[in-house]
Structure 1
Amino acid sequence: MKAKYQSTATAQSIVKILILLAVIIVYSWAWEGLKVDLKSLKDSGGYIADFVSRLFPPDLTILDVAWEKLLETIQMSLWGTTIGAIISLPIAVLSANNLVPWWVRWVANFIQNAVRSIPSIILGLLFVAATGLGAPAGTLALGIYTVGYLGKFYQTAIESVDRYSLEALQVSGASWFQIAQYGVMPQVLPLLLGYTLYMFEYNIRAASVLGVVGAGGIGFELVNYIRGFEYNKATTMMLVLLVVVTGIDIVSSQLRRSLEQK
């Protein structure tokens, strides 16, 4: 018995060593692929310090512009998240393995994966080309971008419901829509709301990035200031964005916790 235990422990130790070696090999391969020049990084430290020094002190004379553009960013995120949530829900239902046959799931999952494979900035470029510069392009880009991730979050929540409650409804003769309405939605609604709040919070950051391609919001002004070497004004924009995003993060986290406790 003792020999068997020692043999099992030895086998487990070998497995752990092999896993550790595999991790080291993978990270070494990734590091080699980066082709990092440590000397170049060291020399660039002075340029980075010089750039950072130009960011301060912030120019507070543009606070009114910063708040105006920040409100536009929040509006973009609000509508983009709402549009994405409305589209995501039916796609998530059709992706759930406890509600629909495999061939329906395959199509719905393919749609999610296709959307998720397109970066938000590329979507921004597409909608800027279609609708022109400004917030409408950014809102549509955020809406489609949201589908790729919120749809997956919703799907995971739906697949985690108690299967016995669904079976009970099936036995009682409930239709597919009744099962989805009375068996699934009451269980997953707090999770869905929590995921949606998280996505809204994330989309505010994403909306600021979309300004790089002219899709409106605070990012548009931020990029213009940087391109014009007005770094002090760019700092003001970033600080305003930081304060608001931090505040929204705190409120959103509290709301998510309250939903999870219900």
Structure 2
Amino acid sequence: MKNLANLYQWVKYLLIFIVVVAVYTWSLQGIKVDTQVMQDSWQYVTKFLADFFPPNWEVLDIAVKALIETIQMSLWGTTIGAILSIPIAIASARNTAPIWLRWIANFLQNAVRSVPSIILGLIFVAATGLGAPAGTLALSIYTIGYLAKFYQQAIEAVDSRSLESLQVIGASKLQIAQYGILPQVLPLALGYTLWMFEYNIRAASVLGVVGAGGIGFQLKSYIDGFEYTKATTMMLVLLVVVTLIDALSSKLRQRLEQI
């Protein structure tokens, strides 16, 4: 009997392996990779990358100003998106909302996540014109699609036994939320929000491609003008700041997890 069970496990794992290989083979056929073209392209890639060096530090002041604007966009975009995500997350969680409301809220989340950030940037550039306001609004909507989902998962992960204990002693719904849900959700929610702020700095640099302000706008301008060494300075400044913010937010998230 034991040998039969072991044989069943091996057959199951073998079938899973075959399915995974088949899926990846199908995917590889779909993207039509030409290995000869890949081999020949390296010389062009290296030549293109060589044009980016050495960096032109004469535009360092412009890079810093553009980066400050990018951080400001990310800060406001993340904050607005986080505030708007809270009611959507509550309406999406299975332990806080009826099924009909969950369906609507989850559909809204999926709808927002299905729109790329660059499309949101184009929409708000058309509405408000070129510049940081369009980028900030685009980041706000983009943030909702992810933070609402993260907050929802945090709410659904709440220990139901603690809520039941509060209900037994006659706590009101507001007290249950204040003493049962909030203490468990807050550290996770703050950690997710910090991660989203860090991510939005990168997203804001992409939004600059469509004229939504920030360092991405300057970066695209230099690349379009074949001023690659100036574009390198922009990317290096962005890399330094993103690395610093990543390290800082990681430490903050670790402390929040210990609360």
Q: Deviations over 1:190-229 (max 9, x none)?
A: 1111110000000000000000000000000000100000
> What pairs up with 1:53-132 in 2 under 5 angstroms?
53-132=50-129
Q: In structure 2, what is the Cα distance between the partners aligned to 1:172 and 1:129?
A: 55
Query: Which AA in structure 2 matches 1:254?
Result: K
Q: In structure 2, what is the Cα distance between the partners aligned to 1:16 and 1:44?
A: 39
The equivalent residue for 2:169 is 172
Give the one of 120, 143, 147 matched to 2:144: 147
Distance apart, 1:173 and its partner CA = 3.6
Q: Secondary structure at the match of 1:99?
A: coil
1:36 paired to 2:5: no
Structure 2 residue ranges without an equivalent (≥5): none
Q: Secondary structure at the match of 1:256?
A: helix
The equivalent residue for 2:247 is 250
Q: In structure 1, what is the Cα distance between the partners aligned to 2:47 and 2:134?
A: 35
Q: Deviations over 1:64-96 (max 9, x none)?
A: 000000000000000000000000011111111
Of 184-193 and 197-206, more deviation after overlay is shown by 184-193
Distance apart, 1:172 and its partner CA = 3.5
Q: Deviations over 1:15-37 (max 9, x none)?
A: 11111100000000000000111
Query: Which AA in structure 1 matches 2:128?
Result: T
Q: In structure 1, what is the Cα distance between the partners aligned to 2:145 and 2:172?
A: 28
The equivalent residue for 2:181 is 184
Q: In structure 2, what is the Cα distance between the partners aligned to 1:79 and 1:85?
A: 10
Structure 1 residue ranges without an equivalent (≥5): none
Q: Secondary structure at the match of 1:127?
A: helix
Query: Which AA in structure 1 matches 2:181?
Result: V
Aligned residues: 259
Q: In structure 2, what is the Cα distance between the partners aligned to 1:124 and 1:172?
A: 50
Q: In structure 1, what is the Cα distance between the partners aligned to 2:239 and 2:138?
A: 22
Query: Which AA in structure 2 matches 1:46?
Result: Q
Distance apart, 1:38 and its partner CA = 1.0
Distance apart, 1:182 and its partner CA = 2.5
1:206 paired to 2:203: yes
What is the aligned-residue identity percentage? 67
Q: In structure 2, what is the Cα distance between the partners aligned to 1:135 and 1:71?
A: 11
Cα-Cα RMSD: 0.9
- What TM-score results when the alignment is normalised by the length of structure 1? 0.97
Q: In structure 1, what is the Cα distance between the partners aligned to 2:48 and 2:100?
A: 54
Distance apart, 1:187 and its partner CA = 1.4
Q: Deviations over 1:99-120 (max 9, x none)?
A: 1111111111111111111110
- What TM-score results when the alignment is normalised by the length of structure 2? 0.98
The equivalent residue for 1:49 is 46
Q: In structure 2, what is the Cα distance between the partners aligned to 1:186 and 1:261?
A: 12
Q: In structure 2, what is the Cα distance between the partners aligned to 1:258 and 1:173?
A: 33
Q: In structure 2, what is the Cα distance between the partners aligned to 1:36 and 1:199?
A: 34
Q: In structure 2, what is the Cα distance between the partners aligned to 1:48 and 1:146?
A: 34
Q: Deviations over 1:219-250 (max 9, x none)?
A: 00000100000000000000000000000000
The equivalent residue for 1:157 is 154
